[in-house]
Amino acid sequence: MKSIILTEPEIREAIEKMAESIIKRHPREKDLVLVGILTGGAFLAARLKEILFRMAGSLIPLGTLDITLYRDDWTKIGPAPVVRKTVLPLAIDDRTVILIDDVIFTGRTVRAAMDALMDYGRPKRIELAVLIDRGEACRELPIMANYVGRICDTGPSETINVYLKEAGVSDCVTVEVGKAGQI
């Protein structure tokens, strides 16, 4: 059974909440870089960049990060994983990088993203922004988000799906029982 837990207006409000927190924490930071984890995180990063510009007039560089070959489960995806292009608009050395993803669950995707990011330079600081935090009960690694749109405590047998208009569907977030662990 699938239930909608966030609607389009609620997604917008959650992203605005994250933007407000980023502005509060970095009121005059000149060395911020937003990096979206492909694919859902990249869509959210682009939205976050627009909202940060609208709220604070900050034009923050935006990049995208492919983590396919850094995942610890990539062999389960299939014999020929699809590797997409990482695009970083500038060097990340000595900058504060805000990694953006749609959902944090076990923490393994974020760990892979940090490993991938380090191959491109040495950031001064790495922070994490996620639309949905599934709660600490299912976390396998000691990773927490700095900026969270919504906390949705879920069990290991549930799946959170984030649907975004950039992928050709209406914005919503759903929870589905009995689908977790499927690739």
Residue 171 confidence (pLDDT) above 90: yes
Q: Quick check: is 105 in a domain?
A: yes
What pLDDT score does 69 carry? 83
Q: Which residue has the higher pLDDT, 142 or 69?
A: 142
Residue 182 confidence (pLDDT) above 50: no
What pLDDT score does 58 carry? 86
Domain carrying residue 107 = 11-72+85-155
- When pLDDT is cut at 50, 70 and 90, the band that residue 165 belongs to is very high
Return the CATH number at 148: 3.40.50.2020
Domains identified in the chain, total number: 1
3-state secondary structure the chain: CEEEEECHHHHHHHHHHHHHHHHHHCCCCCCEEEEEECCHHHHHHHHHHHHHHHHHCCCCCEEEECCHHHCCCHHHHCCCCCCCCCECCCCCCCCEEEEEEEEECCCHHHHHHHHHHHCCCCCCEEEEEEEEECCHHHCCCCCCCCEEEEECCCCCCEEEEEECHHHCCCCEEEEEECCCCCC
Q: Quick check: is 2 in a domain?
A: no
- When pLDDT is cut at 50, 70 and 90, the band that residue 70 belongs to is confident
**Mean predicted confidence (pLDDT) in 148-176:** 95
Burial annotation 55-80 (CB, 10 A radius, 16+ → b, else e): ebebebbbbbbbbeebbeeeeeeeee
Q: Quick check: is 120 in a domain?
A: yes
What pLDDT score does 78 carry? 65
Q: Quick check: is 114 in a domain?
A: yes
Q: Quick check: is 179 in a domain?
A: no
What pLDDT score does 119 carry? 96
Q: Which residue has the higher pLDDT, 180 or 52?
A: 52
Q: Quick check: is 168 in a domain?
A: no
Average pLDDT, rounded, for the chain: 92
Q: Quick check: is 63 in a domain?
A: yes
14-42: pLDDT as tens digits: 999 999 999 999 998 789 999 999 989 99
Q: Quick check: is 3 in a domain?
A: no
